[in-house]
């Protein structure tokens, strides 16, 4: 409830005036919309994820349904609803609703993928194939802010027409005339400011102190607090940064829209006039905020003399930039990593790799004491703890405070890591994103022959990697696994462990129809031989510095003695 409303009511009751017949608060609606937009940008209470291009847009179903007839129908429907075709445009792009399996807890990413399950509940993921992320970002920002900053000040006719076309397809009346005629669309008036907002807030031009930046953040996190209503920062619909003056916000939006050109100057005010970063950031002593392809700006902080890279979306901090870049894909889904054996898609390559181990049954972790092999490091560790009374981690490595791994020098590994049977995936060009052609003639080879008799079909169609998104949406926590349920593979790889459904919220089942084959595929893993725990035939790999090539009682004893056992 609006604090202003309560104030008026309190005053009317406390004074001698009779209570009014009706209490109205003209600032209530824009304030609520503003709060909804902030919640969307922060991923709060979002109950649907829209996928346009390769970008995810968390949103609120109610807001979407109230703004667009298409969304209202799509979010009500239990079956995929085709998006209305572009009038005079290209081929229609069927929107596919994706129902998050209500039983997703039993459908973890390492468990066999469920068959195409009809969505009996409202879809939680709505995919909009063919809808460019940039245009949809503008439309979604309009839905949540009733404002639309036209690309390049309206001079970008193609972009404006694209937004207008999307508005027509979604049935958003205010956008329907956009791009069709010069005067067919009237930009809506900016959201009215709350009466209590100071017009001259005393901040003036120039960088804002970090305290104020933090204050805005605190207000955004505590929407009911008094300062939030008295100051009411205006968030940028693209990046979420808050500004006091609408003019400043407009200036920032223009810069923000230009993308990379603003990353060094407009992001955090490093060397510019924008707002300063969070407390702890020494802008003058640091390199400028660096943007990376397809990702958001990130914040560089210095804490205790150590440089930290902070994700602009979720504020996680990282010691290394590469870790932050890797993490950023969880937000952007700029790259997708589909499993070759089932229909799950992962946000990180490593997740996919680990998941595929369950399909191949490969056992790479070998105990150097008994030569038994294990699928996962956890299994190895449990085995060595139970049967040998040791914990390999205590001797092999050093854990960093943030959960990272720092190997010690001259350490004794109490296990052997067998080389991966699948060849190392060749890299492709960085600048082109997804490659256009298969990497090798063997890439189309179906799944490994060692798959069980009921093995799933070959590599499923995977999402087509699109161009780098221009917008990184806030999605915290972001789903990091998408399960395509279009084809009934089942994917019950023999020996697949039922994972027990960990991280249920990160598994999404697609009911989308099969897509065209993914252009980028990886070489299939070689056939999986029967594990021979007692035969270290594959010993001596470069990654196995600790173990001898042959297993003898003498070497086993030596290993045990070396381990202090």
Partner DNA sequence: TGCTTCCTGCCAACCTCA
Partner DNA sequence: TGAGGTTGGCAGGAAGCA
Q: Which of residues 192-221 bind DNA (CB under 7 A)?
A: none
Judged on CB neighbours under 10 Å (0-12, 13-18, 19+), 247 is exposed
Report 131-190 residues binding DNA (CB under 7 A). none
Q: Which residues pair with 132 in a beta bridge?
A: none
Q: Which of 191, 108, 33, 50 is nearest to 474 (CA)?
A: 50
Report 8-37 residues binding DNA (CB under 7 A). none
| Contact (Cβ atoms closer than 8 angstroms) between residue 131 and residue 85 | no
- What is the phi/psi pair of residue 560, to 5°? -65, -40
CB of 66 to DNA, least distance (A): 30
**Alpha carbons 555 and 561: distance in angstroms, whole number:** 10
246 or 500: CB nearest DNA: 500
Pick one of 497, 537, 562, 565: the residue that binds DNA (CB under 7 A).
497
26 or 477: CB nearest DNA: 477
Per DSSP, the three-state class of 353 is helix
Exposure string over 325-344, b if 16+ CB within 10 A, otherwise e: bebbbbbbbbbbbbbbbbbb
Report 303-342 residues binding DNA (CB under 7 A). 316-320, 322-327, 330, 335, 337
Query: Binding segment for DNA among 60-68, 235-243, 376-384, 510-518 (CB under 7 A)?
Result: 376-384
CB of 439 to DNA, least distance (A): 8
Report 502-521 residues binding DNA (CB under 7 A). 502-506
85 or 438: CB nearest DNA: 438
| Contact (Cβ atoms closer than 8 angstroms) between residue 476 and residue 58 | no
Please report whether residue 553 would count as binding DNA according to CB under 7 A.
no
* Measured CA distances, 505 to 216, 238, 326, 343, 368 (Å): 30, 25, 20, 17, 38
CB of 482 to DNA, least distance (A): 10
Pick one of 193, 210, 348, 443: the residue that binds DNA (CB under 7 A).
348
CB of 490 to DNA, least distance (A): 16
Query: Binding segment for DNA among 1-9, 50-58, 136-144, 491-499 (CB under 7 A)?
Result: 491-499
Query: Binding segment for DNA among 133-141, 200-208, 270-278, 496-504 (CB under 7 A)?
Result: 496-504
Query: Binding segment for DNA among 36-44, 77-85, 168-176, 501-509 (CB under 7 A)?
Result: 501-509
| Contact (Cβ atoms closer than 8 angstroms) between residue 235 and residue 141 | no
**Alpha carbons 255 and 261: distance in angstroms, whole number:** 8
CB of 499 to DNA, least distance (A): 3
**Alpha carbons 442 and 444: distance in angstroms, whole number:** 5
Report 422-441 residues binding DNA (CB under 7 A). 424-432
CB of 216 to DNA, least distance (A): 24
218 or 543: CB nearest DNA: 543
Tokens of 24: 């109205």
**Alpha carbons 439 and 432: distance in angstroms, whole number:** 14
Please report whether residue 531 would count as binding DNA according to CB under 7 A.
no
CB of 210 to DNA, least distance (A): 22
CB of 288 to DNA, least distance (A): 12
381 or 518: CB nearest DNA: 381
Query: Binding segment for DNA among 154-162, 418-426, 443-451, 508-516 (CB under 7 A)?
Result: 418-426
Tokens of 28: 């209530």
CB of 65 to DNA, least distance (A): 27
Long-range contacts for 215-223 (Cβ within 8 Å, ≥24 apart)? 216/242, 217/242, 217/278, 220/38, 220/42, 223/35, 223/38
Pick one of 2, 230, 376, 488: the residue that binds DNA (CB under 7 A).
376
Per DSSP, the three-state class of 62 is helix
Per-residue interface string for the shown chain with DNA, residues 256-295, x marking contact by CB under 7 A: ------------------------------------xx--
Query: Binding segment for DNA among 44-52, 68-76, 391-399, 448-456 (CB under 7 A)?
Result: 391-399
CB of 27 to DNA, least distance (A): 37
Report 459-488 residues binding DNA (CB under 7 A). 477, 480-481
**Alpha carbons 126 and 110: distance in angstroms, whole number:** 23
Please report whether residue 351 would count as binding DNA according to CB under 7 A.
yes
What is the size of the binding site for DNA (CB under 7 A)? 80
Pick one of 2, 35, 102, 105: the residue that binds DNA (CB under 7 A).
105
231 or 336: CB nearest DNA: 336
Please report whether residue 402 would count as binding DNA according to CB under 7 A.
yes
Per DSSP, the three-state class of 311 is strand
Per-position DSSP letters for 240-274, written without gaps between them: --EESSHHHHHHHHHHHHTGGGGTTTTSS-TTSSS
**Strand stretches in 384-517, DSSP E:** 397-399, 405-407, 415-417, 481-484, 507-510
**Alpha carbons 282 and 510: distance in angstroms, whole number:** 45
Tokens of 46: 């979002």
Which letter does DSSP use for residue 222 in this model?
Answer: -
CB of 255 to DNA, least distance (A): 21
Query: Binding segment for DNA among 39-47, 346-354, 483-491, 509-517 (CB under 7 A)?
Result: 346-354
CB of 406 to DNA, least distance (A): 4
Pick one of 500, 514, 529, 557: the residue that binds DNA (CB under 7 A).
500
- What is the phi/psi pair of residue 269, to 5°? 80, 15
**Alpha carbons 61 and 546: distance in angstroms, whole number:** 55
């Amino acid at each position: 409830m609006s604090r202003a409303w309560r104030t008026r009511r309190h005053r009317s009751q406390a004074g001698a005036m009779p209570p009014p017949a009706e209490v109205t608060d003209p600032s209530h609606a824009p304030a609520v919309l503003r709060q909804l937009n902030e919640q969307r940008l922060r991923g709060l209470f979002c109950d649907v994820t829209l996928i346009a291009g390769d970008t995810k847009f968390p949103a609120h179903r109610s807001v979407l349904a109230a703004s667009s007839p298409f969304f209202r129908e799509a979010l009500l429907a239990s079956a995929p609803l085709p998006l209305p075709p572009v009038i005079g445009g290209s081929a229609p792009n069927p929107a596919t609703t994706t129902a998050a399996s209500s039983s997703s807890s039993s459908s973890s990413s390492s468990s066999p993928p469920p068959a195409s399950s009809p969505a009996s509940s409202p879809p939680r993921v709505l995919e909009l194939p063919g809808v460019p992320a940039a245009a949809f970002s503008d439309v979604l920002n309009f839905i949540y802010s009733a404002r639309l900053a036209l690309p390049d000040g309206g001079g970008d006719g193609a972009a404006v027409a694209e937004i207008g076309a999307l508005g027509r397809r979604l049935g958003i009346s205010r956008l329907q005339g956009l791009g069709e005629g010069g005067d067919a669309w009237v930009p809506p008036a900016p959201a009215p400011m709350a009466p209590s907002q100071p017009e001259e807030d005393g901040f003036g031009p120039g960088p804002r102190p970090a305290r104020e930046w933090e204050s805005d953040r605190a207000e955004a996190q505590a929407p009911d607090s008094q300062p939030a209503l008295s100051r009411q920062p205006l968030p940028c619909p693209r990046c979420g940064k808050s500004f006091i003056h609408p003019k400043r916000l407009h200036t920032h939006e223009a810069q923000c829209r230009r993308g990379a050109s603003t990353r060094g100057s407009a992001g955090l005010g490093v060397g510019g006039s924008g707002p300063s970063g969070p407390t702890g950031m020494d802008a003058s002593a640091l390199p400028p905020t660096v943007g990376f392809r397809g990702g958001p700006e990130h914040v560089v902080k210095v804490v205790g003399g150590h440089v930290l890279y902070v994700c602009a979306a979720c504020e996680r901090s990282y010691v290394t930039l590469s870790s932050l870049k890797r993490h950023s894909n969880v937000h952007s889904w700029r790259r997708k990593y589909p499993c070759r054996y089932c229909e799950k898609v992962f946000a990180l390559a490593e997740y996919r790799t680990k998941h595929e181990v369950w399909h191949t049954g490969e056992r790479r972790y070998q105990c150097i004491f008994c030569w038994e092999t294990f699928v996962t490091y956890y299994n190895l560790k449990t085995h060595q703890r139970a049967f040998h009374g040791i914990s390999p981690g205590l001797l092999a490595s050093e854990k960093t405070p943030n959960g990272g791994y720092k190997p010690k020098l001259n350490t004794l590994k109490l296990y052997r890591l067998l080389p991966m049977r699948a060849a190392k995936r060749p890299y492709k060009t960085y600048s082109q994103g997804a490659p256009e052609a298969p990497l090798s003639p063997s890439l189309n080879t179906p799944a490994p022959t060692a798959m069980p008799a009921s093995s799933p079909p070959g590599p499923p169609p995977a999402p087509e990697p699109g161009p780098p998104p221009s917008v990184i949406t806030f999605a915290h926590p972001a789903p990091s696994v998408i399960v395509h349920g279009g084809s009934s593979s089942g994917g019950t790889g023999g020996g697949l462990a039922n994972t027990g459904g960990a991280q249920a919220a990160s598994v999404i089942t697609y009911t989308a129809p099969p897509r065209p084959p993914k252009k980028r595929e990886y070489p299939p893993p070689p056939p999986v031989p029967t594990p021979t725990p007692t035969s270290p035939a594959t010993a001596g790999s470069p990654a196995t510095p600790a173990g001898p090539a042959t297993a003898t009682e003498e070497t086993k004893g030596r290993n045990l003695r070396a381990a202090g056992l």
